[in-house]
Amino acid sequence: MAGKRSKSSDRWLRRQRKDYFVRTAQKQGQVSRAHFKLVQLDRKFKLLTRRSRVLELGAAPGGWTSYIESKLSKEGGLIAVDPLLVTARVETEVIIGVVGEEEVDVQIASAVERLGELDLVLSDMAPNMSGIRSVDQARSMELADVAFDAATQWLRHGGGLVLKAFQGEGLDDWVAARREVFKKVVITKPQASRSDSREVFVVAQGFGGKRDPIGGLV
């Protein structure tokens, strides 16, 4: 006999049923409502072209991956990375693992060598939530650092970085520091992000630095 659902589960189900983007994702056959966040970010900031060469971090379950593929021609390319399997129907071969780990970074570097320097790094990575705000915020900022490191390693001059973050302690200072490396850095919240969530996205465009062999920016 199935157990009775908890009150929190009932609240979650009610919210899902009322959510416009959840319903629309289901109607369109999208694996998640996150698809629409990237659609809106792309429309606002003109992130993707047919020839874009893209690194996507935190690709699972594939909502962003499928959208990126729909925007690219054969002259573009996508490298997707996630420790979990992408469940969406996509053509891109996903690198399974955690960016920043040596074996995964070697695979990314090899893919970038074949594809060419990247135009865009996208990160929808999110921490495992503890429920403790300060802990979750710190973990979110660590993932922002991981995405930034990937960008400084593999972006072409003038390229862009988009990453998920949580509004909270440390984010404004983090963004201010990245304005020394990118021409434009803003914090934005697409309509598809839940209004009661601290989730925001940092959009950095006009990359102006490259890493030297010992890891500094030049």
Q: What are the catalytic residues?
A: 164
> How many other CB atoms sit within 10 Å of the CB of residue 125?
23
Cα 165 to Cα 145: distance, rounded to the nearest angstrom:
11
Q: Where are the alpha helices (DSSP H) in the chain?
A: 7-18, 20-28, 34-45, 63-71, 102-115, 133-154, 171-178
Ramachandran region, residue 215 (left: φ > 0; alpha: ψ -120 to 50; beta: rest)? left
> Is residue 155 within 8 Å of residue 214, measured between CB atoms?
no
> How many other CB atoms sit within 10 Å of the CB of residue 91?
8
Of 73, 75, 66, 77, nearest to 39 by C-alpha is 66
**Residue 194 DSSP symbol:** -
Residues listed for the chain: 218
> Is residue 162 within 8 Å of residue 41, measured between CB atoms?
yes
